[in-house]
Amino acid sequence: MNFFGKSLVVWGKLDLTGVGPTERSVFGSFSTLDALANESRFHGIQTFGTIPVTGSASALLLRLSPGAGAGHVRFALSSVPEVQVISGSGLGIQVRQSIRTILNGSIAFTLVGLWMGGLLILVVYAGIVAERKAELGLLLAMGLSRIGLSLWLAIEAALCAFLGALLGILLGATGLAVFVRTFGYLLTSRGITFELPSISSQIFAALLSLLLCSLVAGLGALLPSWRLAGREVYQLLRENSE
């Protein structure tokens, strides 16, 4: 990694433990910190990360010997008058783990919902193509190929799903704005940090939703339209006349 013109060797990457924001920090030795501090002064930068260049360290990462535990460290540090030991609460860890579980569950439910939506569209278009036999038969008689007819019906279903998904995105954006103005404002007024995902991530999620909904709808309508397009034209026209 290149920090302030210094090439640093990455010795390892720590696993996420859910204990706080320091998980995604960069840890280094005091000699490395001094070198980076000198470079930051040279570039006119007053701070580096969470550690002030001209002040004291705000956090220290301790490497324990094999068999040593965090309780032993806290007991040893408590005997030093200049050091204040602050133990983290397990409630925050449980909340973060619960939110992660809920997020994974919501992704699974979304995939199941897409699958059920695709099956529903398949059944609906099976009835639609059965009622439009004469129209589809005439299109085949006029020279439209089997692939062209199937793609036309699939695009029709994908377009309807696209419009429905677009309406859902607009409804969700409205609900999110109301949530920010009500519950989000309440959290902010009480000193609790409330942040929304970036605009780019929200736009990406919206575009992904539009793509998935349109794709599932198109695939759901493709099978019944393909089966109907494989029938003989005279059978479609004769069944309609009967």
- Measured between alpha carbons, how far is 85 from 30 in angstroms, rounded to an integer? 21
Q: Tell me, what's the pLDDT at 174?
A: 92
Whether 93 contacts 19, CB under 8 Å:
yes
Q: How far apart are CA 224 and CA 208, in angstroms?
A: 26
pLDDT at 46: 44
Phi-psi region of 143 (alpha: psi -120 to 50; beta: other; left: phi over 0): left
The residue among 125, 116, 127 whose CA lies nearest residue 213 is 116
Half-sphere CA count of 27, side-chain side, radius 13 A: 13
What pTM, to 2 d.p., does this model score? 0.54
State the pLDDT at residue 61: 65
Q: Where are the domains of the chain?
A: 2-78, 90-241
Q: Please check whether residue 125 is in contact with residue 221, taking contact to mean a CB–CB distance below 8 angstroms.
A: yes
User: Could you tell me the mean pLDDT of each successive run of 10 residues in the chain, 242 residues long?
Assistant: 76 69 70 76 49 50 72 79 68 72 86 85 80 74 78 87 92 90 82 80 90 87 78 64 47
User: Residue 43 has what pLDDT?
Assistant: 56
* Structure tokens given for 68: 């040593």
Token pair, residue 93, equals 């860890």
